[in-house]
A and B are shown apart, each in its own frame.
Chain A
Amino acid sequence: MIPGIRTSLSCWGRFHPAECRLIEPESRMKLAALFCDHAASGVIARGMGRSYGDSSVSGEGTVIGQTYLNRFLSFDPQHGIIHCEAGVTLEDIIKVSLPHGWFLPTTPGTKYVSVGGAIAADVHGKNHHVDGSFGNWVKGVTLILADGSIMECSPSKNPDVFWATVGGMGLTGFIRDARIQLRRVESSYYSVRYHRCRNLEAVLSMLASTEQQYRYSVGWIDCLSRGSGLGRSVLMLANNTGARALTSSLRSDPFRVRASARLPSVPFDFPDWVLNPFSVNLFNQAYYFKQRDREEIVPYDSFFYPLDGISSWNRIYGKRGFIQYQALFPDKTAQTGLRKILETVSSHGAASFLAVIKRCGEANLAPLSYIHRGYTLALDIPNLGAQLMPLIKSLDEILLEHQGRLYLAKDSMMDAKTFAAMYPRREEFLNIKKQIDPECFFISDQARRVGLCF
């Protein structure tokens, strides 16, 4: 048996800690040995633990950490193709590629995410309506299957397994390494237009009507405004700044990589009373009125990763943790669905610090990929104790009534029935899994909860 450490693991929301056996192989040989280890069962890969619930946690099982499996294998600066182990973070990729004029094809709101996690959750960014999700940019992966054999997968080689792995939450196998197509950029800056919208209707129509004009768009919603102001937001619409539009001082170093100053951090768990509706209301009001409609050129870091400046910000929710609820509605039900979600949340006084709305484009081929055409809304909800479950249940019902769905990377509480209703291609996924992992070697607490196992 390979020695591992028994440790309590949870993800970003710190909501579902569980005792796991954590193994961090230092080499390919040690990684391979794990698949011959009889003591290993209930195995799941773990990236940076930036999913919110229990996607990379396996209680009483084995978690494979990738602390040492984070090495670059090749980089082609001419075509912008990077080949790396799955433990490499998006931050690492930016550092390597941006000086050569390449950036991530799409990126979530934090750069402290691993390539494995980005593929397994098929993450999306502010440009989904134009570029689709992360999986669309993966040229191929080397997958270690449950029996220890190695399978090369790409959209043309073993495509079924490839697409099941994209968005497959680590349940098809262990992604050892991946090749990713990066995007050419003209600079590391973004020209952002800030635009205030007075209610939900205005937000949706603005996001839809600017789709062609802006590659990147996102709205920050003030969840506490009600009545005719429900959904009041600040939109940020952006494109990569062309070299010529830069001021001369920026032009001298157009591909500047910002040193990761993780300076201010939240050093301790905030007491529970800090984040009450009153303080959140103040925060949201200040945020809305501070933003005048204007245009600005900002570095990529402040545009894509505004929260990365404060490390461990999840601690402001205190020890009891929090969950994130990310709902996706198709175009035709978005307006009513989103309205009901916002109303329900605010009537529960479930203050949300952050609520983010994004436009989504076409889905890819992955059976479990979350995202398809419509709008997605993400909100933080502190752990309200006994009140939380009923609130989440009523939100889930709204989603189901409006053909909406939840994002596995953010999910902490969904049950199997709800999941099956939201993900009609679940069976198709499980059939592929049965062929390559008949004994369900790969499993997480989330998979057990939502029924992605057999």
Chain B
Amino acid sequence: MKTMNLPCVILGSLSGIAREIADQLVRKGTPLVLVARSAEELEIQASDLKIRYGITVETIAADASELDRMSSLPEECARKLKGGNIGCVILCWGVMYPQGEAEKNTQLLKQTFDINLTSSALVLQAFANKMSHAGGGTIVGISSVAGDRGRGSNYLYGASKAGLSALLDGMRHRYHGTGVRVITVKPGMVNTPMTKGIVNPSSPLCASPIKVAADIVRAIETRSVQIYTPEYWRLIMAVIRNIPEQLFLKSRL
């Protein structure tokens, strides 16, 4: 597909899932701009991709909590690309603090929404503006199944992801027909640093980041608009969403 030949921006390129996305896109020859907060790690990631696949990638060190900077990120990327068009942006950064800690620590609670929702809205809206001006592009946001229904065990993170899902779905509606395509990605449990110690990596419900990244890359290449990854989470979440509230209250999900 054409999108894959145009440069792709990965926000939060050092995340467990994003590393695999970067690998898979580079192997397809997609030019990349990697954005993450550690300049040192970005440099290592770039050298690794260069040595493994012979492709040079651009990098930008930026922290999602610098909210003021978010709306100028698309311009920064364009400058790195010498003014070239951006084909695709993939939002991968996110934080998940243990629910119990976030309930008591306002700093963590605020961060959850700042990173997962506010920064995401600021940066993705800026990309949408730029892309619609340029006449097209693809916006991919990694939300989560946790946003599909608030659950006692993880509702602060879940609420930030519910907001992100609504943002992405609304954006898709807003830009329908303009050439700007928006993809909502809802992973289930994935074996990454985020879930270390929370999810058992050998559980059959825990997917590998390689699989999730492949699903995301395929969604970009095809006409998908909203994916669950692995796909069976669509069914699981349909069931969970439809449990009557009275029954749900008695469960310990």
Contacts and interface: CB of A to CB of B under 8 A. Distances in A.
Contact of B44 (A3, A24, A73): A73
Interface string B26-65: 0000000000001011001101100110000000000000
B100 interface: no
Nearest to B46: A71
Nearest to B199: A5
A72 interface: yes
A308 to B, nearest CB: 19
Nearest to A75: B51
Contacts of A74: 47, 51
A27 interface: yes
B55 to A, nearest CB: 13
B51 A5 contact: no
B51 A96 contact: yes
B21 to A, nearest CB: 15
Interface string B134-160: 000000000000000000000000000
B41 A72 contact: no
Given A27-B41, A28-B41, A29-B38, A71 B48 contact: yes
Contacts of B16: 26, 68
A29 B38 CA distance: 9
A24 B45 contact: no
Nearest to A25: B193
| Majority secondary structure of chain A interface residues (helix, strand, loop or mixed) | mixed
B252 interface: no
Interface residues of A, number: 18
A198 interface: no
A193 interface: no
Q: Which of B16, B19, B45, B51 has the most CB of A within 10 A?
A: B51
Contact of B52 (A27, A28, A29, A96): A96
B240 to A, nearest CB: 26
A24 to B, nearest CB: 7
B223 interface: no
Contacts of B11: none
A239 B51 CA distance: 28
A85 B52 CA distance: 13
Contacts of A73: 44, 47-48, 51
B196 A72 contact: no
Contacts of A72: 47-48, 51-52
Contacts of A29: 38, 40-41
B45 A71 contact: yes
Contacts of B44: 28, 71, 73, 85
Interface string A61-73: 0000000100111
Contacts of B193: 24, 26, 68
Interface residues of B, number: 15
A4 B193 CA distance: 10
A95 B53 CA distance: 10
B38 A3 contact: no
Contacts of B177: none
B101 to A, nearest CB: 11
Contacts of B40: 27-29
Interface string A44-85: 000000000000000000000000100111110000000001
Given A27-B38, A28-B41, A29-B38, A3 B197 contact: yes
B47 A5 contact: no
B23 to A, nearest CB: 11
SS class, residues of chain B in contact with chain A: helix
B47 to A, nearest CB: 6
Given A27-B14, A72-B48, A72-B52, A5 B41 contact: no
B160 to A, nearest CB: 21
A3 B194 CA distance: 11
A341 B197 CA distance: 45
A269 to B, nearest CB: 15
Interface in B67-83: none
Contacts of B51: 72-75, 96
A4 B40 CA distance: 24
B41 to A, nearest CB: 5
Interface in A85-99: 85, 92, 95-96
Given A71-B44, A74-B47, A3 B196 contact: yes
A71 B197 contact: no
A254 B188 CA distance: 44
A3 B195 CA distance: 11
B196 A71 contact: no
Contacts of A75: 51
Interface string A1-41: 00111000000000000000000101111000000000000
A24 B201 CA distance: 13
A29 B41 CA distance: 9
Contacts of A24: 193, 196
Contacts of B52: 72, 92, 95-96
A319 to B, nearest CB: 16
B35 to A, nearest CB: 15
A71 B38 contact: no
Nearest to A69: B44
Nearest to A74: B47
Contacts of B41: 27-29
A5 B199 CA distance: 10
A73 B19 CA distance: 16
Interface string A347-369: 00000000000000000000000
Contacts of A5: 196-197
A29 B47 CA distance: 18
B96 to A, nearest CB: 12
A72 B48 CA distance: 5
Interface of A: 3-5, 24, 26-29, 68, 71-75, 85, 92, 95-96
6 contacts: A24-B196, A26-B16, A28-B41, A29-B38, A72-B51, A72-B52
Interface of B: 14, 16, 19, 38, 40-41, 44-45, 47-48, 51-52, 193, 196-197
Q: Closest 10 A-B residue pairs measured CB to CB?
A: A71-B48, A72-B51, A5-B197, A75-B51, A72-B48, A26-B193, A27-B41, A71-B44, A3-B197, A73-B47
Given A72-B48, A96-B52, 11 more contacts: A4-B197, A26-B16, A27-B14, A27-B38, A27-B41, A28-B44, A29-B38, A29-B40, A71-B44, A71-B45, A92-B52
